[in-house]
Each structure stands twice: as C-alpha cells, then as structure tokens.
Structure 1
Amino acid sequence: MERYDLVYQLYDEYDTKTLREYQEFVDVFPAVDSRVALEHWQGATEELEERKDEIRSSFAAGETFAEIAARATRDQAFTALDLEAKYGRAVNVLVLDVDETLRSAGGTDNEIPRDTLHMLTEFHDAGVPIVICTGQTLENVKGFAIQGLGSEIVHSGDLSIVYEAGTGVFAPGHGADTKQLLYEDLGEEIRTVFDDVRSRVLPEAPEDLRRGCHLQGNEFNVTMKPNYETGSTDAREVIDEALVYLIDLLADAVGTALEGESRDDAPAETDAGRSAAASDDANGEPSLSGETVVDWTRAYYAAQDPEIRAVLEGEGAYPDLDTAAIPDPLTAILERIDVAYYEADAAEIGSLELNKVVGVERALAVLGVDDPFALVMGDSKSDLRVMEWAAETDAGIAAAPEHASQDTLEHVLETDELVFDRGKSVDVLRTVYALNRLARLG
C-alpha cells in the first residue's frame, strides 16, 4: 500500500487528536513534587502507550506511524510526505533564529514555548545538531539556551550559537574551535568605516532620533531600534528617518576612508591640488565630493532594495542617479557593507563579510555536518540569506512565521510553503519530525 494511503488510514481510523493531547501532556507536564500529580501523569503515560500500541500492531512500520500520529496533525503528516517525496532525505541539522521565530513578543510573551523546547530536545536526542542563529549577544543566547534546553544539551558538542548576526560562533565542547571571532578576518578599511559610524551614530543624531531610537548590535552591526511599540505609526516614522540618517552617516564614513586612502597612495600635494583631486572630474570619473558620496550611497542601496528606495522617496532623499556610474572605489567598499530596513522595527548597517551565512557555515564545519540538509527558520532579511544559501546549495528547506519580512515570506511561499502562525514554530518542528521518521523507512 502506498504511504499516502497508509497515512489516510492512520488519520481516518484512529483518534489521533486525543493521542496528540496525551503526548503533549506527557511531554510538557511540569516537574512538581506532588504524589497526586505524578499519579495523574503516570496514568496518562499508560493510556498514551496503549493508544500507540493499537497503531503499532496495525501497520508494518507501526512504531513510525505511532510516533507520527502522536506528534503531527493530519496536515503536518501529509506535508511531511510531500517533503520526503520531493527531497528524499531527512533534516540533519536545525538552523534557528530566536526572536519572532522560536519566540514572539506578540504570541508567546517573548518566551520560547515549552512544547517548542521539548521538540528541540527530541531532535537532539535523535542526533540532530542545533545551530541557534541570532543577532543577540552570546551572553543573552547562552542564558536562555541553558535555561530552556539545559546545560547538558548546550554543552553536548551538538549545539552551536551563531551570535550577533555572524560576528562570532560558539560551539561548546570543541576545544580550540569552541569560540571563533569571525571579525578578526575583516580588512582594516572596513574596520575603520564601522569604527567611525559606531562612534558617531547617537552623538550626532538629530534630537528626535536620539529620543526616538536606541542602539543595538556590535562594532560591525549598527542597528537603530524604535523607542515605540514595534509596528506602530511612531515606530515607522522614526525608523524611516533613521534609515536615511544611517545611510548618510555611512556615506560620510566611507568618503573619509576613501579620502584617507587617496592621500596615503598619492604623492604629496598642495591643499589646492588635494581639493581638486577630491572634487574635479578631470579623468572622466564621477566626483567624490562629500555631497556626491551621499547621493551615490543613497542610490546604491536604493537599487539594492525596493523597500529602501521607497523610504528614501518618501523622505525626499532619493537621488535619481545611474548606479552604473558610481565610482569604482566607492562601489568596492559599499559592496562589502549591508544596509537593511525593517518597517517600523529597525534600520541597520552591517558587514556583509560577517553575516549569518558565514557563521552557519563555520558552525557546521565545527559540528562536523559535512553534507547539511537543514531546516532554516527565521523571519528577517538576515535569515533570508541563510535560506537562499540553503536553496542554492541544496542544503535544506526554509520556514518562516506569517509576520516575517515580505521578501522572507515570499521565498518560503515559493519553495515549500512552510509558514507558521505567530509563536507556533513547533508546528514546523513537528512536520520535520514526521519527515525524519518517514525518511528512515527508505
């Protein structure tokens, strides 16, 4: 009998809804020092096993179908079948964003739900490594990881943390490779630009931005967040203004760096000669005067992202320039720096050489995942890059919450449509759990 027919039989002939309720109760029952509570848990465990035994005795692959029925809904099971038919392999590593993915301020009180944490332990017990991939600091991530998953899992050698959007990778239990600071490989010119931006971003901001935003990130990821409720009108207005401000500040820092390079490389010249070199177009190249660097930089990032262009247009800051004419020295630096806009949530700049993809690749190498087929879960454009990497290299599948950024959501819908409700990342984990069970059948 075809597997699809067997799954139809499973969900048509058995009370899988009640089975899942027993399973969830047994899985997430709180550890309490109460004889009555423990007796109730023991009774539920016995009932669960009896119901599973009915399925085990009715199918040739009874254990597999019993576990699928106990974890996955009918829709999740059929999605797992489709994924197994399409890819023919199990997920062998989880790559998981945290904020607004595993947990959601709008749906889970900003805590990772207990059913999600339990599913993660199930994957760990099955030998599937976990890569937590986040923009948060290492200290924050370690704290909730140990609290939620336990120190044993965090220090098992099968978990890695890519933190601060790729600035570093932490993989306990791997000796000299336990902590790797990826920013040490950055070039001096990029360090200089970020040092300049970081030191000036709040002190030189207009008063309304200083009052309306706060700073997140690190030396190589400068993020302005609203001091208003995310998604509100006030948040949208201040982040739109912050985006223009960050681009212009970046342009000034890059222009200063380019001017320094030209002075270092050129023979000594008079002030008049230096001024001419900075602003004239004698060699047919576009000018690199301060005002023009800002215009070119705005145009460059507007061409990279339609959302950024829309904000610049709305703020009256869009220069209608042909980006093909951007001077090569300027392009060479801008190509290494990312500008990202998250509507009513954040405006940021970061190093493209320090991103989640680089961090994930390093983490997989440390964990010994040589042929990855990952479940990549995330909500932002930085997560999208990991999803695109997985798609381009046949290294996995992608999932996102329904409130993810537009580009991220479009990518997920165009691939396997693994979209989940706010705070319900466990739904995708259960689907993949079923996929892995089916893949074992060969």
Structure 2
Amino acid sequence: MERYDLLYRLYDEFDTKTLREYQDFVDVFPPVDSRVALDHWQEANDELEARKDEIRSAFAMGATYAEVAARATREQAFTALDLHSKYDRAANALVLDVDETLRSAGRTDNEIPRDTLHMLTEFHESGVPIVICTGQTLENVKGFTIQGLGNELVHSGDVSIVYEAGTGVFTPGHGSETKRLLYENLDADIQSVFAEIRSRVLPDAADDLRRSVHLQGNEFNVTLKPNFETGGKQAAAVIDESLVYLLDLVGEAVINSFSSASNEFEEPDRGPSWARAYYADADNEIREVLESEHAAPELSVDAVPDAVSARFDRIDVAYYHADAAEVGSLELNKAAGVESALDVLGVDDPFVVVMGDSKSDLRVMQWAADNDAGLAAAPEHSSRDVLAHVMDTDELVFDRGRSAEMLQTIFVLNLLAKLR
C-alpha cells in the first residue's frame, strides 16, 4: 500500500488528536517534586503507550507510524511526506536562527518556548547535529543555549554555534577545532577598514546619537543597537539615523584603507557619497531609509571608482528595522559560517533545514538551494525576500512563535525516511 494511503488510514481510523495531547503533556511536563503530579504524569504516559500500541499492532512499521501520529497533525504529516517524495532524504543537520525564529518577542516573552526546546532535544537524541546560527555575540548565545538545552547537550560535540553572522564558529568538544575565528583569514586591507570603524564609531558620533545607541560587544562586526525597546518608534528612528552614520563611516574607512602614498583619489572626501550610492543601489531597504532620512545619494553608482566599488563588494552593511545597523564582511556571512560548522561536525553530505527570518539567513537558504544541500523554512513575519524564497521552494512558512510546529514536521520527515 502506498505511504499516502497508509497516512490517510492512520489519521482516519485513530484518534490522533488525543494521542498528540498525551504526547505533548508527557514531553513538556515541568519538573516538580510532587507525588500527586508524578502519578498524574505516569497515568498519562501509560495511556499514551496504550494508544501507541494500538497503532503499532495495526501497521507494518507500526512503531514509526505511532510516532508520526503522536508528533504531527494530518497536515504536518502530509507536508513531511511531500518533502520526502520530493527530496528522498532525511535532514542530517538543523541550521537555526534564534531571534524572531526560534523565539519571538511578540509571542513568547523573548524566551525559546519549551516545546521548541523539547523538539531540539528530540533531534539531538536521534543523532541530528544542531547549528545555532545568529548575529549575536558568542557569550550571549552560548548562555541562553546552555540555559535552554542544558550544558551536557551543548557540550556533546553535536552542537555548533555560528555567531556574529558568520565571523566565528564555536563547536564544543572538538579540541583545536572548537573555536574557529574566521575573521582572522581576511586580508590586512579589509581588517584595517573594520579597525577604523570600530575605533571611531562611538567617539565620532553626534552627541544625541551616541547617547541613544550602544555598541554590541562583538569580536569583529560593528553593530549599533538602540537604547530603546526594540521594535518601537524611538528604536526605529535611532537605527535609521545609525544606518546613515555607518554608511558614511564605511565610505571614509574604505578610502583610508588605500595607501596614502598612491594619491589614487582626487576627491577622498567623496567616500561617504560613494558609500551611500553603492549601498542604496545594492539594497532597496537601505535606499528607502536614506530617502526617509533626507540622505539620498547625490551620485549615481556609476560614479563610484572601480577600486572603491571592489572594496565595498567585500563589506556588508546590514539594516534591521528598529533593531540594529551593522557592518560586517560579506566573506564572513552566515553561509560561510555554516559550511565551517558542518565541516567541524563532520557532516560531509549535508541536507540541512535552514530556519530564519532575515536577509543574513537568506544567504544560508540560497547556499542550501544552490548546492542541493537542504530546504528552508521561515516564520510568517520574515523579510519579503526570505518569504519569497521560501514560497518559491517548499512553502514552509510557520506562524510567529510556532517554531516547534515546523520542527515537528521535519522530525516526521526523518521518521518517514525510515520507511522503505
């Protein structure tokens, strides 16, 4: 019988909704020191196993079908089966953004939900490595990852952290490969640009701006964050102003990175104008901010000297509405970090699931698509370009704060891959 027919039978003949309720209760039951509560948990677990036994005895490979029914709705199960029919592969690594993907300030008090954490534990126990891929600093992401998943899991050797959007990779338990500082591989010219920006970004800022933002404690990237609630009007205003300031600073630092003895540029003070023109042409969102700040480029991108444009080609200016303005290296994006993390983890033939919401995550999604190395999923509030990519591929869009549901779908994909 075709697997589609078997799934129809599974969801038509068995009370899978109640089965999932028992499974959810057993999975996320909080640790309590109460005999009554523990007895209640045991009763629920016994009922769960009894219901699973009915499915186990009704199907060949019944243990797998029982787990499918306990983990996924009908829609999730058929989505997973469609994915397996298309790719004929199980996911062998997870690549996960954190903010507004695993956790959402709008729905979960900025904590990773317990059901999401439980699903990550399930993947770990099934042997699927986890790559946390974020723009945050290492210490920050390592702290809440250990808090949520536990020190033992994080240091198991199967978890890697790509931090600061790809400037470094931290994979505990791998000896000399535990920490890779990818930014150390950049040439001196590019490193000098970042050194100048970092040394000037706060001292050279206007007084009002300097009092309204702070510098994120990165190892390499230069990230300005608002001193206001993320997502609010004040944060939006100050980040828009910060973007313009950073663009001008990038322009000046790039010009200064060329040897002063060469006298290559007759108008070195045009650096800020060249930066505005280049990055506005490269990113419509940046152009919109420049226009709203009355700082639109005075020049065409064609006026940017080739040597300057080539250096801009290697420097990323990122804008996150009401959240951050950032300067990073395009050679050190999340995709490069993920490749390095998978190398350390020993994932030689990757088929990853990339979950994210921003343009930096999109680069990882595109890398996976271009290399037949996986699939992409995104929350419904993601950037337009991310949603366009996801909808053009497998339409794996999930509601805000519901990352666990997408992880359940992928978990079922891996279960179905066992059915041959």
Could you tell me which residue of structure 2 aligns to residue 300 of structure 1?
278
- Contact 1:231 1:345 survives alignment (8 Å): yes
1:231 correspondence with 2:231: yes
Distance of 2:277 and 2:286 partners within structure 1: 10
Shift of 1:326: 2.2
Could you tell me which residue of structure 2 aligns to residue 426 of structure 1?
404
1:406 correspondence with 2:381: no
Q: Return closer, same or farther for 1:303/1:217 CA change in 2, 3 Å cut-off.
A: farther
Shift of 1:146: 2.0
State how 1:378-417 maps to structure 2 within 5 Å.
378-417=356-395
Once the two structures are superposed, what CA deviation does each residue of 1:9-37 show, in whole Å capped at 9, x if it has no partner?
Answer: 21122111111110011111122222211
Could you tell me which residue of structure 2 aligns to residue 177 of structure 1?
177
Distance of 1:194 and 1:158 partners within structure 2: 32
Structure 2 SS opposite 1:338: strand
Hey, which bits of structure 1, 4+ residues long, moved more than 3 A? none
Distance of 1:341 and 1:124 partners within structure 2: 33
Distance of 2:173 and 2:238 partners within structure 1: 43
Could you tell me which residue of structure 2 aligns to residue 271 of structure 1?
none
- Contact 1:164 1:217 survives alignment (8 Å): no
Shift of 1:262: 4.3
Structural RMSD (CA): 1.6
1:351 correspondence with 2:329: yes
Sequence identity (%): 70
Distance of 2:301 and 2:197 partners within structure 1: 23
Shift of 1:211: 2.8
State how 1:147-186 maps to structure 2 within 5 Å.
147-186=147-186
Q: Return closer, same or farther for 1:142/1:374 CA change in 2, 3 Å cut-off.
A: same
Structure 2 SS opposite 1:218: coil
Shift of 1:432: 0.2
State how 1:18-29 maps to structure 2 within 5 Å.
18-29=18-29
State how 1:31-430 maps to structure 2 within 5 Å.
31-216=31-216, 218-258=218-258, 261-263=259-261, 266=262, 278-279=265-266, 288-290=267-269, 292-319=270-297, 321-430=299-408
Distance of 1:278 and 1:4 partners within structure 2: 66
Shift of 1:140: 2.0
Distance of 1:141 and 1:64 partners within structure 2: 34
Distance of 1:142 and 1:221 partners within structure 2: 18
Distance of 2:281 and 2:369 partners within structure 1: 24
Structure 1 SS opposite 2:332: coil
Structure 2 SS opposite 1:348: strand
Further displaced range: 135-144 or 238-247: 135-144
- Contact 1:195 1:219 survives alignment (8 Å): no
Paired amino acid for 2:268 = S
Distance of 1:141 and 1:289 partners within structure 2: 40
Distance of 1:409 and 1:243 partners within structure 2: 24
- Contact 1:420 1:427 survives alignment (8 Å): yes
Further displaced range: 218-227 or 408-417: 218-227
- Contact 1:213 1:238 survives alignment (8 Å): yes
Distance of 2:85 and 2:74 partners within structure 1: 17
Could you tell me which residue of structure 2 aligns to residue 270 of structure 1?
none
Shift of 1:7: 1.4
Distance of 1:176 and 1:347 partners within structure 2: 33
Shift of 1:369: 0.2
Distance of 1:434 and 1:136 partners within structure 2: 30
Shift of 1:320: 5.3
TM-score normalised to the size of structure 1? 0.91
Could you tell me which residue of structure 2 aligns to residue 436 of structure 1?
414
Shift of 1:217: 5.0
Distance of 1:173 and 1:238 partners within structure 2: 41
Aligned residue pair count? 420
Once the two structures are superposed, what CA deviation does each residue of 1:77-107 show, in whole Å capped at 9, x if it has no partner?
Answer: 1110111111111000011111111112221
Structure 2 SS opposite 1:30: coil
- Contact 1:198 1:219 survives alignment (8 Å): no
Once the two structures are superposed, what CA deviation does each residue of 1:253-308 show, in whole Å capped at 9, x if it has no partner?
Answer: 111122xx141xx4xxxxxxx6xx642xxxxxxxx431x22222111111111111
- Contact 1:171 1:179 survives alignment (8 Å): yes
Could you tell me which residue of structure 2 aligns to residue 282 of structure 1?
none
- Contact 1:379 1:400 survives alignment (8 Å): yes
- Contact 2:280 2:297 survives alignment (8 Å): no
Shift of 1:181: 1.2
Could you tell me which residue of structure 2 aligns to residue 283 of structure 1?
none
Q: Return closer, same or farther for 1:378/1:217 CA change in 2, 3 Å cut-off.
A: farther
Shift of 1:325: 4.1
TM-score normalised to the size of structure 2? 0.96
Q: What residue ranges of structure 2 are gaps of 5+ in the alignment? A: none
Paired amino acid for 1:311 = V
- Contact 2:19 2:51 survives alignment (8 Å): yes
